[in-house]
Amino acid sequence: MKEHKALLKLGLPITVAQLGLTLQNLADNVMVGRHSTEELAAAGLVNNLFILAILLTLGFSIGAVSQFGSLYTQNKKERIVEILKSSIVANSLQGMVIVALLVGLYFVLPYMGQPDELLPLMRPYLVIQICSMPFFFLSAAFRQMTDSINDTVVDMTVILIANAWNIFFNWVFIYGNLGAPELGLMGAAWATFTSRLIIFVLYLCVFFFRPKYKVYVQYWKTARIHIDDVKLLNRLGWPIAIQMGMETASFSLTAIMIGWLGTNVLAAHQVMINVANAVFLTYVGISNAVSIRVSNHNGLHNMVGVKQAAFAGWQIILCFGLVLGTTAFFFCTEISRLFTDSEEVSLIVGSLAIPFLLYQFGDGMQCTFSNALRGLGDVKKLMQYSFLAYVVISLPLSYLLGIVCGWGATGIWMGFPFGLTTAGILYLRRFRSLCKKSVISNQ
């Protein structure tokens, strides 16, 4: 029970913060959907592709957790600041690659088989999203540091403040309230841009002005950026980023297939993705806490603690999955009416609830044990297993069942349970293998 309490104490603020990120997208989509179904569909495709870039960046930054967590239990504060500064450099270099890929996406949008009427909405929306990326990858370095030193309340507070701003900005500029121009989808885009800027500024304020961080700030000027640290963070970060990218691609790239089926189907897919993300990010909060606790025990070379943290996290996530998954399953049609009044969209959303419920067990498993392995710094196998689960199994099955067999959106979503469960089993086997050998992958 000690690990359960520690995980909940760390994980619940992260969960609130993660749900806050989902709330930002949810608020955008609900408010945009109320403005027009076409804008909801346009935002849906761009957001599904853009979240792939977000998670590539976030995944890369997670590579630093195993370093921060181990150093924290060893009380090596100066090294923590060195890793933080090196992480800022590494994240910035990786972020430039992601931005370049997103710019390329802008030019290939017309060739992705999407409805012609959506392109004039998609392209400017994507441009504003791209411009907000630097704030995101710089914030990620501070976020991983504060979480890893067990101060997860910071992330929660920062996200909630930014979300309040985002919702207010949406209300003003999507609909043209308080004398502002009615910008529709572009209003939501600018709300997202400014909220990411606010997140970055708040993290800077926390680090440099909060008394708790004074002991770290005193090393800021003297701490050096070591090229070996930057290389290490790249070795840890890229496999995690690619692993998360392939997982997300199994969802995001299906949006392209969904787009072939029409605007209403794409809108329904976007509604269900928001429901799925809300449940998934609950798992992420607890599993991130697993990564932190595993890295803390790893720093003390405590294998018993490593195993206890991982399996306690899995038990908590199974409980969350049972409650949230079934609740979303039974009320998904009602939830869809928050986004749009279209009955056709609501019916399609209802048909997607079955594959959604089926993949919750596998999703919880893969989320828990991928983070346990990240906490150990054992990341190379994650990339290989993800390729098998998502690229070899999930995506082809989605195409086969949805397009070739003609099952439509439901068939496309049926690929997810197979991919996620395969990944979960492979990650669990790898973790158990390391535990049996009493081998902990170190820095």
Three-state SS letters, 209-233:
HCHHHHHHHCCCCCCCCCHHHHHHH
Residue 219 pLDDT grade (very low, low, confident, very high; cuts 50, 70, 90)? very high
pLDDT score for 428: 96
By the 8 A CB rule, do 3 and 293 touch? yes
CA torsion, ordered 84, 89, 94, 98, to nearest 10 deg: 100
Q: 87 pLDDT exceeds 80?
A: yes
Cβ atoms within 10 A of the Cβ of 298, count?
Answer: 24
Mean pLDDT lowest for which of 59-63, 211-215, 245-249?
245-249
The predicted structure's pLDDT at residue 332: 79
> Which letter does DSSP use for residue 419 in this model?
H
Give CA–CA dist 135/426, Å, rounded.
35
- What is the spatial distance between Cα 230 and Cα 309, in angstroms, rounded to a whole number? 28
Chain centroid to CA 432: how far? 25
Closest by CA to 138, choosing from 81, 84, 191, 208, is 84
Summarised one tens digit per residue, pLDDT across range 20-30 is 766 666 677 77
Tell me which residue has tokens 């997607």. Answer: 352
DSSP 361: H
Question: Do residues 128 and 78 lie in contact, with contact meaning Cβ atoms separated by under 8 Å?
Answer: no
Indicate whether 78 pLDDT > 90.
yes
Distances (CA, A) of 196 to 127, 289, 401: 15, 23, 38
CB 73 within 8 A of CB 300: yes
Question: Is residue 305 over pLDDT 80?
Answer: yes
Distance between CA atoms of residues 173 and 61, nearest Å: 32
From residue 114, give the alpha-carbon distance in Å to each of 30, 32, 259, 266, 401: 22, 19, 6, 10, 20
Residue 334's pLDDT band, with cuts at 50, 70 and 90, is: confident
Q: CA 238, CA 232: separation in Å to the nearest integer?
A: 10
Does the pLDDT of residue 443 top 50, yes or no?
no
Model confidence pTM above 0.95: no
Work out the pLDDT band at 367, boundaries 50, 70, 90: very high
Can you give the pLDDT at residue 22?
64
Rounded distance, CA 235 to CA 382, Å?
A: 13
Question: What's the pLDDT tens digit per position in 418-429?
Answer: 999 999 999 999
Angle at which helices 133-148 and 77-108 cross, to 10°: 150
Highest averaged pLDDT of the listed ranges 55-64, 102-111, 368-377: 368-377
**258 SS3 class:** helix
Angle at 48 between CA 47 and CA 51, to 5 degrees: 75
